[in-house]
Amino acid sequence: MICITCMQHVDSLYTVYSNDHIQLTDCPFCEEIVDKYVEIDNVLLFIDLLLLKPGAYRHLVFNSLELHLSKYPKGKPVNDCQCLLDYTEALVFNIKNWFRKYDRLNRLWLLLLSFEIYLTWVTEESKYIYYLNRNNDDSNLIMLSMKLPESFKWDSTIVRNTITSKVFTWRPPIQYLYFASYCILDVSLFHTLIQYFILKKLHWGRNFASSKDIISYTILLSYGAKIFPILMLIWPYDTLISMSIIKWVANFYIIESLKIVTKLSYWNIIKIFISVALLRYCLVKPTLILCVAKFKLSAIKNLMYQEFMLLLQKSGTYLFL
């Protein structure tokens, strides 16, 4: 348990008296109430999460999560088992325990992922149509500099040979499978790399028992901002620009929530965020290109080249949508 104001460890959040009266504990370090969110209902907690109130995040990822996880037994050590039967029993117990322990979090991840897959599919489709219809001599296309070479100039024929154009020739269930693999790969990479950099590289969380779960839950909560555009699909605001703005807002939510929870400097978090974004860019799409090209070298080379050319043209024309 921690105090949500100064983040010092405390023994309890409240005291229950015999007449069921509850008194919130005062922090011995900062003299504020240790965790006022114990008494606040979920709707107000949700609003405070949206408003990025540090207390709301700390209440959920430290105190509420610790309370929830402490209800379940610890996993059995598998390495100490003497025979195969003991080993299998311990393994089955650990797997069942894991599913029970993380049931709520896994359900939330599943919900987020299904929204993310649908949104990626919709956005990629709108982008593809937009790129195809973009006129090569469009005066709205602003070149960053007139001195840039020809390859930076917009040419919509390049879009017809990219991996996206190939995907949209497939049947819808296969298209869904492609976007599902894309999102699962992307989200797991993002989640694992952020955890790795914060815990292993910056050595954060040594005085917290479940530091891995804390980072994971923080990412899950702030990642929720990424599904805001699902509301925009109901009302006619689903333009590429508004979706792009929401994407940046979601990134801001993730950075700010990691800052609230870890108290690391903005510079460190932004460095991690940029490194993770670069690694995702270099790993996710190339992996899918390998699979779509069925590991044929010439097809891989061609798709990679088209993606690279598209990137050049996008960067040459302010087209970072």
For Zn ion, give the closer residue by CB, 30 or 231. Answer: 30
29 binds Zn ion (CB under 5 A): yes
CA distance 35 to 26: 9
Q: Is 5 in the site for Zn ion (CB under 5 A)?
A: yes
Size of the site for Zn ion (CB under 5 A): 6
Residue 25 tokens, joined? 């504990």
Q: Which is nearer to Zn ion, 13 or 163 (CB)?
A: 13
Decide: residue 209, CB within 10 A, 0-12 exposed, 13-18 middle, 19+ buried.
Answer: exposed
Contact 306, 161 (CB under 8 A): yes
SS3 assignment, position 50: helix
Residues 242-261 as x/- pattern, contact with Zn ion by CB under 5 A: --------------------
Q: Is residue 12 a contact residue for Zn ion (CB under 5 A)?
A: no
Exactly one of 1, 6, 283, 292 binds Zn ion (CB under 5 A); that residue is 6
Residue type, 276: V
Single-letter code of the amino acid located at 146: M
CA distance 69 to 213: 10
In the complex, minimum distance from the CB of residue 183 to Zn ion, in angstroms, rounded to a whole number = 39
Of 229, 253, 231, 233, residue with least CA distance to 243: 229
Closest distance between Zn ion and the C-beta of residue 24, in Å? 12
What angle (nearest 5°) sits at the alpha carbon of residue 312, between those of residues 132 and 190?
A: 90
- Compute the distance between CA of residue 280 and CA of residue 271 in angstroms, rounded to an integer: 14
Select from 20-28, 50-58, 103-111, 242-250 the region that touches Zn ion (CB under 5 A): 20-28
CB of 55 to Zn ion, least distance (A): 11
User: Regarding beta strands 14-16 and 22-24, do their DSSP bridges make them parallel or antiparallel, or are they unpaired?
Assistant: antiparallel
Question: In this chain, which of 30, 92, 110, 274 binds Zn ion, going by CB under 5 A?
Answer: 30
Window 51-80: contact mask with Zn ion (x via CB under 5 A)? ------------------------------
Max alpha carbon distance in the chain (Å)?
Answer: 80
Nearest distance in Å: CB 36, Zn ion: 12
Q: Map tokens 């620009």 to a residue.
A: 241
Q: Which amino acid is at 84?
A: L
Identify which of residues 27 and 141 has a Cβ nearer to Zn ion in the complex: 27
CB of 30 or CB of 47, closer to Zn ion: 30
In the complex, minimum distance from the CB of residue 80 to Zn ion, in angstroms, rounded to a whole number? 40
Backbone φ/ψ region at 20: left (φ over 0), alpha (ψ -120 to 50), beta = left
Q: Is 27 in the site for Zn ion (CB under 5 A)?
A: yes
Residue 35: CB minimum distance to Zn ion, A: 10
Q: Which is closer to Zn ion, CB of 61 or CB of 289?
A: 61
16/30 with CB nearer Zn ion: 30
Nearer to Zn ion, 31 or 155 (CB): 31
Strand runs (DSSP E) across the chain, as ranges? Answer: 14-16, 22-24
Residues comprising the chain, all counted: 321
The yes or no reply on residue 3 touching Zn ion (CB under 5 A) is yes
| Closer CB to Zn ion, 6 or 91, in the complex | 6
* Least distance (Å) between residue 41 CB and Zn ion: 23
What does the binding site for Zn ion look like in residue numbers (CB under 5 A)? 3, 5-6, 27, 29-30
